[in-house]
Amino acid sequence: MSASSMADDDFLATRIVQRAEERYRTRVHNLMTETDRMFGWLMLGQWAFAIVLALSLSPSGWVGKTQLLGSTLFLAVVFGGVLASLPAYLAFRHAGEPTTRHVIAAAQMLWSALLIHLTGGRIETHFHVFGSLAFLAFYRDWRVLLTATLVVATEHFLRGIFWPESVYGIVNPEWWRFLEHAFWVLFCDAFLVLSCYRGLKSIRELVEHGAHMEALAQSALLQSAELENNFVNRAPLARAQG
């Protein structure tokens, strides 16, 4: 193999790596941006849902038939509005930035807390936590799951101390109850982190394959053009010799 051929091969390999990395970053950034915007709409939808919940289920979700509409509606409108507005603003105005997705992760876990509170600690509403983690895994970023896990574990711990009925549905839960919740969150996280890793790996393999095929096609075109030029340049000489 000539030195020129080796240089061409090295250039081609470098070009493939650079092109693949560019495409990988673009694909991941687009994924983050699309997921941010999805959560932006989700935040607004959850706000509307919380208000409906406060008007319907919450008045009897705490103490039987006693109506507590005022306090629950205030939480749904005001606290829910705070939880929805900042993440939604970031999602639509600063989509794709790291800060945006971490704010969204924290807010989404606090939405779980609010909905659990509005339903009087119903065990069914706790599934919102695990559904939120699954949605956050769309980012393919394990650090977002870490933020969400720290927020939900801290929130359960603090509310379990000062207002246990709002999170567990009972007045005197065991002190370690928040650890039980945290364990199941971590159990879910383990599979979601693996899913994030495999998702990014699939994206990288796809863009590397695309970059490789593109480089081969360009190399083939250059070789074809070179052969054509050689043929054109040699044609007059061949006719002269003939």
Separation between Cα atoms, residue 11 and residue 36, nearest integer Å: 37
User: What pLDDT, on the 0 to 100 scale, is given for residue 66?
Assistant: 46
Lowest-pLDDT range of 44-53, 74-83, 148-157, 218-227:
218-227
- Residue range 106-147, pLDDT digits in tens: 999 999 999 988 887 777 888 999 999 999 999 999 999 999
> What is the model's pLDDT at position 65?
44
Residue 231 has pLDDT above 90, yes or no: no
The proportion of the chain whose per-residue pLDDT surpasses 70, expressed as a percent, equals 76
Stretch 16-41: mean pLDDT: 89
Q: Residue 53 and residue 59: Cα distance in Å, rounded? A: 9
Average pLDDT, the chain: 81
Q: What is the reported pLDDT for 176?
A: 76
Alpha-carbon span 188 to 97, nearest angstrom? 25
Angle at 49 between CA 45 and CA 105, to 5 degrees: 55
- C-alpha to C-alpha distance for 206 and 23, rounded to whole angstroms: 10
- Per-residue pLDDT, averaged over 148-177, amounts to 80
Whole-angstrom Cα distance, residue 109 to residue 135? 11
Output the pLDDT for position 220.
61
Radius of gyration in angstroms for the set of CA atoms belonging to the chain, rounded to a whole number: 28
Extents of the domains making up the chain: 35-232
For 55-93, how does the pLDDT look when each residue is reduced to its tens digit (9 = 90+)?
A: 887 655 544 444 455 578 888 999 999 999 999 999 999
Residue 184 neighbours by CB distance under 10 Å: 12
Structure confidence by residue, pLDDT tens digits, 36-63:
999 999 999 999 999 998 888 765 554 4
Tell me the mean pLDDT in the region 143-165.
Answer: 87
Contact 85, 110 (CB under 8 A): no
**Predicted local distance difference test score (pLDDT) of residue 147:** 95
Q: Worst-scoring range by mean pLDDT, 128-132, 133-137, 157-161, 170-174?
A: 170-174
Query: Looking at residues 142-170, what average pLDDT do you find?
Result: 84
- Whether the pLDDT of residue 17 is over 90: the answer is no
Q: Are 47 and 118 in contact (CB under 8 A)?
A: no
What confidence tens digit (pLDDT) does each residue in 190-209 have?
999 999 999 888 888 888 77
* pLDDT level of residue 169 (50, 70, 90 thresholds): low
Helices (H) and strands (E) in the chain, counts: 9, 0
DSSP-based three-state secondary structure for 150 = helix
Determine the pLDDT at residue 232.
55
Which pTM was predicted?
0.78
